[in-house]
Amino acid sequence: MPLSPNKQAELHRALQDALADRALVAAMPDLQPMAGTPPLPAAFIADSQLHIVRHKDSGCVQFVFPGPTGPGLVSPAQAGWDWIVQATLNARERMTQAMIDKIEAHSKPERLLALRHGYGHSATQGELAMARGRKVLILVHGVFSSTEAAFGALDLQALLERYEGRVFGYDHWTIARTPQQNAMNLLHRLPPNAGWEVDLLCHSRGGLVVRSLLSEGLADIARARAGRIARVGKVMFVAAANQGSPLAQPDDIKHFLNVAALLASFSGSLALDVVIGLARMVVSLGFDRPSVQALAEDSTLISLLNRGGSLLTSANSYYARANFAYGDSALERAGALLNRALIDNANDMVVPYANVLLPDATPEADHMLSFGSADQ
């Protein structure tokens, strides 16, 4: 099953970006994408480079990171996996913020979309002003995603009718910005006197952006919110990482990237070139990007949000969560890739079932939509 044309384009952009990176070229003057379909030799596992490979049967993208070898440690090549080498990237030089921005820009520009025109149109100042003092809906996507990728399957027309056209999507960068920076960026895109009554629908990492947006403990954000948001209506957290994900822990970031690459291979909801860009940063910098660290279960941001006050209440918070079993889905056919997912408890492959809820939340039945249970 080959990658779709869109995914092939994303992979090509990521490789071209690597070749255009002068730091990479300086480190490896002869760096080139590798063509052909040979099995992955063991030598490619043992060196210090990050490899991006694609399983020739499933079409899934897999990262091969440098790691320890020795008794009891079996490499993919030793296990008999038959990989197609798509590229070898070595990122020894420190990547700059400009390069991180460039990686994110592959996916989308940062902007507030007026969804009455579809998913490709920025909201004008006139459209924002016309919503002054009115109820609006804002959609906030998750990591590696976009408004269209995360919410494109929604019945947008029904929402536009319900909100009289005042439905906006916040396209933002999730590697180059922290959730707090995303929240501040969103507020600065609203008129200072907007006085909006907002309903919010968020997914995955977008939950931390929304929690930051509505926090009383983040003083700068609270000051910027004054005048712009007059009232909070309903907030729907869909598979939101309100309590983080164990895959974002420093020891498991490589597994997180493998899962992200797997999901990006099959789904349009994640951008493969952005996932590859983050993988390059992990090899180059180690795990030190604040934007991704915020997703860890014990992150400073989550601790701060849990302690501080918020405009979120049990009355205005709603949740959707899932315990995903691999079953007979296409994901199961990825085989060995799924062994990289190291969440032992119930989860949707990235966010644990219990972590979708806000701390100490015991929502009423009509505030919770559950797919599966913690045991099934």
Q: What is the pLDDT of residues 169-189, one digit of tens each?
A: 999 999 889 999 999 999 999
Domain 100-244+292-371 has CATH 3.40.50: yes
pTM comes to 0.79
Confidence label for 356 from pLDDT (cuts 50, 70 and 90): very high
Position with higher pLDDT, 147 vs 36: 147
Q: What is the per-residue pLDDT across 244-264, written as a single tens digit (0 to 9) for each?
A: 988 787 777 777 787 788 778
Over residues 314-330, mean pLDDT: 81
Over residues 71-84, mean pLDDT: 42
Q: Is the pLDDT of residue 23 over 60?
A: no
Of the candidates 154, 87, 69, 78, the one whose C-alpha atom is nearest the C-alpha of residue 119 is: 154
Give percent above pLDDT 90 in the chain: 47
pLDDT of residue 363: 95
pLDDT of residue 208: 97
Q: Indicate the length of the chain as a whole number.
A: 376
Rounded distance, CA 135 to CA 317, Å?
A: 17
Q: Is the pLDDT of residue 141 over 80?
A: yes
Question: Mean pLDDT score of the chain, rounded to an integer?
Answer: 79
